[in-house]
Amino acid sequence: MEELIIPTTEKNAVVWYWSLKTQKEKGDSLVEGCIANLPEYVTVNVRQNNLKDLVWIWNQWDSDTRGIFAERYGDIANLIAVNIDERLIQAMVRFWDPAYQCFTFNQENMTPTIEEYAALLHVDNVQPYKIYVKEPKPMTFKKKLMRLTDMIDTWAEKQIKKKNETICIPWSSLRDLVLNHPDMLKRVNLFALAIYGLVIFPKVLGHLEVAVVDFFERLKQEINPVPTILAETFRSLSSCRRKWEGRFIGCAQLLNVWILSHFWKVERTPFHMFSKTFSPLEAYVKKEWPKEVTEEQWVSVFQNLRADDITWRAPWIRPSVLLYRVGDQDWVPLLGLWGGVGYAPLLVQRIYEEGPRHREILEESSSMELALYADTLTQYYDLWRKQRINSKQISSTNYTV
């Protein structure tokens, strides 16, 4: 099942007035009596799948096969080349605020947005406002595997495993099919499924979970995968933050690229970055990034972050629209594979320092134009920031780099 939402676009001034009025009347839209009581220290496991098989397979493909893959699935293959800085992710989790669904670095609020992740993944053959919703009566997992692989039912039944109370299929069961299936398009599709299951939604290490297969099946109906990816990233960050510990099962590669891109300072955005063929992920992989930075050093960077230390608008983000609310909600609900979460991008619209157009989804949605937004903070924002319910996030210890 998928949900199609109808977009309308508002002018920046209208959105600014609505936002100010709503904030004064309703406050922060938190649950009544909400009290933030989060641990100072968080131990996060960022263990990832071994992607050597995927890298080897990708390197064996010729340019025609890679082109077909990119046409169908955008730039997700570049994720397998992204080196994850585990210490960076571990440090970031300490600054995640589950109540507001954003990072609070010193006094600066930042969060990945739908528009940024869409630009990174470069998925063009989707309907932006057609979202994934789990089917109430889905096809059985065995039948889905048979359809995806063209294999018989006895094969599919043998591959289905139960790991940690989760129904899944081992990557090893699909590897030979990705390499040797006689149908080239089947090889391409199964490779994409592997990336979604092992990289983007790595819930069960070495396996592809049944919900990922259900989601992948829906991609051919041109749903936008980004809201689902973002939802699971937010849910995992919040879970780790609240429980003191846990394994991060969002897409660590995208989160890594996103935060470092905001330290990617360019005097002027190169013209080629505005080309439709430009790949932000490919450019990121080719660029040299800091190495051997400890978790404590990253904590110090975030703890003392100032607005001038970062690039609010990532150099690869193109003029677009910013989805900021849905229907009569004052925020955007994001539906993931295993749950949902709220998302309030107006909190971090400085990410678009040249200014977003706002889009509203009226089930329906609302958006604002990314055009002439000034990078300024009003007195109302400063007052709110002082009064907001702050999570007890980090020890008063000042780390030094």
DSSP state for residue 352 in the 8-state scheme: S
pLDDT digits (tens, 9 = 90+) for 130-145: 889 888 777 899 999 9
Q: Are 252 and 51 in contact, with CB atoms under 8 Å apart?
A: no
Mean residue pLDDT of the chain comes to 80
In contact, 115 and 320? CB cutoff 8 Å: yes
pLDDT tens digit sequence for 224-240: 999 999 999 999 999 99
Structure tokens at 67: 């082109």
Quote the Cα angle for 235-98-342, to 5°: 65
One-character DSSP codes across 276-296:
TT--HHHHHHHS----S--HH
Other beta carbons within 10 angstroms of residue 6's beta carbon come to: 11
- Confidence label for 165 from pLDDT (cuts 50, 70 and 90): confident
List, in order, residues 6 or more apart from 307 with CB less than 8 Å away. Answer: 108, 350
Task: Provide the 10 A C-beta neighbour count for residue 222.
Answer: 14
Q: Give the global pTM.
A: 0.84
| Backbone φ/ψ region at 134: left (φ over 0), alpha (ψ -120 to 50), beta | beta
Question: Whole-angstrom Cα distance, residue 219 to residue 224?
Answer: 8
User: At residue 373, what are phi and psi to the nearest 5 degrees?
Assistant: -70, 130
Whole-angstrom distance, CA of residue 229 vs CA of residue 345: 16
Token digits of residue 192 = 């994409």
